[in-house]
Copies of this chain bind each other. A is one copy, B any other.
Amino acid sequence: MIQHWSASAPEDRYFDPNPEQKQIALELYRQVADLPLICPHGHVDPKVFADPDYSFGTPTDLIIIPDHYVFRMLYSQGVPMESLGLKTLDGTLVEEDPRKIWQTFADYFYLFGGTPTGMWLRDELALVFDIETKLTPESAQEIYDALEEKLGEPGFRPRRLYERFNIEVLTTTDPATSTLADHQEIKDSGWSGRILPTFRPDAVVNINTPRWRFNVDALSEVSGVDVEHYASFIEALEQRRDAFKRMGATATDHSAFSPRMQSLSEREAEAIFGRALRGQATVEDAELFTAHMLMEMARMSADDGLVMQIHPGSFRGHNEAVQARYGPDMGGDIPVATEYTRNLHALLNRFGSEPNFTLILFTLDETTFSRELAPLAGHYPSLRIGPPWWFYDSWNGMTRFREYVSETAGLYNTVGFNDDTRAYASIPVRHDLARRVDCNWLANLVVRKVIDLYDAAEMAHAAAYDLAKAAYRL
């Protein structure tokens, strides 16, 4: 994107204050600031690109409603979710006036002082929307006006922003049951943007997913394979992987409560799957089956070359009332301690040295950075560590990742940045922040004479561009 420095987004923001280090950080940053964005993992809806005239709606629709980072903070201080326009599942009345919602948000915006959301929002206003005014209760409506005006301009259609953001490739996340119709539409449209699907089979492989039976039927339908038993289930999944690959996918993505992986015999797998189809699977069945299916997915990845991503360790829907009222992904997911050394043992022994296999591992438990993840990635050829995720996608979180993981596993066993967001308009500022973290980290190594400026520039380029492209086979 074209950078335009300003009072609220000065070029040297965020870097450590030591003048010598800051100068080096700036020098490194200038070499990577305008590199194209590789976005190998995210949650933007492909519809956004399928329709060339797609509009984001109001500023509230763009910035508040889809962003659980935003509304969870307000909720934590007693602001009812209803007052933020979040739709309840049963349609109970909620605040619908976007200006009123925006005002509430602005009234509480001070809560974000020092947080990544605070940084992203200000940077987004300044760099994407040319808004320099500080967001306060007083300026709320004026900023709303300015945003509304911008969002009405043709330059703020998603495809135009894709170009302005200088995105080289952006992947979406799509259920195994997706027909990929939006992706087909994008392809057929002749537009040059590169939007690729990612295969996410959680809703069919985790047999304790709500409405799992329904999802299996959808899988049968979309794959053309009648899923009646375990063998046909596997066949249907292979069919979908193939369909995703043909649509350009290079990766899969897997969420699991635990990263436990362990093969069952065909017979055991068939027995559990049968119980699941009959609605008789136990909690233990579900856990074993997920562990088994992760192994199966690794086996398929070693075959078809789709890069495998695993995101474990979230206690989903911790707040049951919020989950019941609003559905999943509404800010009530909480991390748990996660073990990798033992849990990955079976998988890494079977596939960890397979040349065609890449596993990108994420964590919500940063205590494993230096104890488990860096030692594992510093040994197994197939393993790379994904960037700090969710609650760790912050200045300190990313800096710690470099100091705890990259210091011993090396930079090259990591995979660059993921924006991992539904908030499309925030993508460039998220990448920008990550590039700044890395340049700041490298500048510290340079000023302490750990590495020289030449190596630092190579490493900055790798972190900003090369590593993501290579690891995700883009």
Asked whether A14 and B449 contact (CB < 8 A) given A375-B391, A409-B76, the answer is yes
A448 → chain B, closest Cβ, in Å? 5
Please report the C-alpha to C-alpha distance between residue A377 and residue B78 in the assembled complex, in whole angstroms: 12
Q: Is A232 close to B, CB under 8 A?
A: no
List B contacts of A391 (CB < 8 A): 370-371, 374-375, 408
List B contacts of A332 (CB < 8 A): 379
Q: Is A57 close to B, CB under 8 A?
A: no
Q: Is A235 close to B, CB under 8 A?
A: no
In the complex, the answer to whether A378 meets B73 with C-beta atoms within 8 Å is: yes
In the complex, identify which listed stretch (A169-177, A282-290, A340-348) lies at the interface while the others stay far away.
A340-348
In the complex, identify which listed stretch (A107-115, A208-216, A301-309) lies at the interface while the others stay far away.
A107-115
Q: Is A392 close to B, CB under 8 A?
A: yes
List B contacts of A17 (CB < 8 A): 18, 20-21, 444, 447-448
In the complex, the answer to whether A76 meets B114 with C-beta atoms within 8 Å is: no
In the complex, identify which listed stretch (A39-47, A199-207, A267-275, A313-321) lies at the interface while the others stay far away.
A313-321
Give the most central of A375, A383, A458: most B CB within 10 Å. Answer: A375
A420 → chain B, closest Cβ, in Å? 15
Question: CB < 8 Å: which of B112, B341, B406 contacts A334?
Answer: B341
A444 → chain B, closest Cβ, in Å? 8
Q: Is A355 close to B, CB under 8 A?
A: yes
Please report the C-alpha to C-alpha distance between residue A320 and residue B351 in the assembled complex, in whole angstroms: 12
Asked whether A410 and B73 contact (CB < 8 A) given A342-B336, A404-B396, the answer is yes
List B contacts of A333 (CB < 8 A): 375
Asked whether A381 and B349 contact (CB < 8 A) given A366-B371, A412-B111, A450-B114, the answer is no
Interface footprint category on A: 35 or more
In the complex, the answer to whether A348 meets B318 with C-beta atoms within 8 Å is: yes
In the complex, the answer to whether B78 meets A381 with C-beta atoms within 8 Å is: yes
Q: Is A367 close to B, CB under 8 A?
A: yes
Q: Is A403 close to B, CB under 8 A?
A: yes
Render A354-384 as a binary contact track against B, CB cut-off 8 A, 1 for contact. 0100000000111100111011111111010
In the complex, the answer to whether A14 meets B448 with C-beta atoms within 8 Å is: yes
Question: CB < 8 Å: which of B15, B113, B395, B445 contacts A410?
Answer: B113
A277 → chain B, closest Cβ, in Å? 30
List B contacts of A341 (CB < 8 A): 315, 318, 334-336
Q: Is A37 close to B, CB under 8 A?
A: no
Please report the C-alpha to C-alpha distance between residue A75 and residue B377 in the assembled complex, in whole angstroms: 10
Q: Is A337 close to B, CB under 8 A?
A: yes
Which residues A1-33 have CB closer than 8 A to chain B?
10, 12-18, 20-21
A416 → chain B, closest Cβ, in Å? 15
Render A98-129 as a binary contact track against B, CB cut-off 8 A, 1 for contact. 00000000000011111110110000000000
In the complex, the answer to whether B379 meets A371 with C-beta atoms within 8 Å is: no
In the complex, the answer to whether A407 meets B395 with C-beta atoms within 8 Å is: yes
In the complex, the answer to whether B370 meets A397 with C-beta atoms within 8 Å is: yes
Q: Which residue of B lies closest to A10 (CB)?
A: B449
Please report the C-alpha to C-alpha distance between residue A408 and residue B348 in the assembled complex, in whole angstroms: 33
Please report the C-alpha to C-alpha distance between residue A11 and residue B365 in the assembled complex, in whole angstroms: 38
Question: CB < 8 Å: which of B21, B113, B337, B370 contacts A371?
Answer: B337
Asked whether A76 and B111 contact (CB < 8 A) given A321-B353, A345-B318, the answer is no
Please report the C-alpha to C-alpha distance between residue A333 and residue B345 in the assembled complex, in whole angstroms: 11
In the complex, the answer to whether A371 meets B365 with C-beta atoms within 8 Å is: yes
In the complex, the answer to whether A379 meets B72 with C-beta atoms within 8 Å is: yes
List B contacts of A335 (CB < 8 A): 341, 371-372, 375
In the complex, the answer to whether B352 meets A319 with C-beta atoms within 8 Å is: yes
Please report the C-alpha to C-alpha distance between residue A73 and residue B383 in the assembled complex, in whole angstroms: 12
Q: Please name 19 pairs of A and B residues whose Cβ atoms are closer than 8 Å in the assembled complex, sorted by A.
A: A14-B450, A15-B448, A17-B20, A72-B378, A73-B410, A76-B377, A76-B381, A110-B412, A113-B458, A114-B406, A114-B451, A319-B349, A336-B371, A336-B372, A365-B371, A367-B371, A374-B391, A394-B407, A395-B407
Smallest CB-CB A-B distances: 7 pairs: A13-B449, A17-B447, A367-B367, A17-B18, A396-B403, A334-B341, A334-B375
In the complex, besides A73-B378, A116-B408, 19 extra interface pairs with C-beta distance below 8 angstroms are: A10-B449, A12-B449, A17-B20, A17-B444, A76-B380, A76-B381, A78-B381, A110-B455, A111-B410, A113-B451, A114-B442, A318-B348, A318-B376, A318-B379, A334-B341, A334-B376, A336-B339, A367-B367, A396-B404
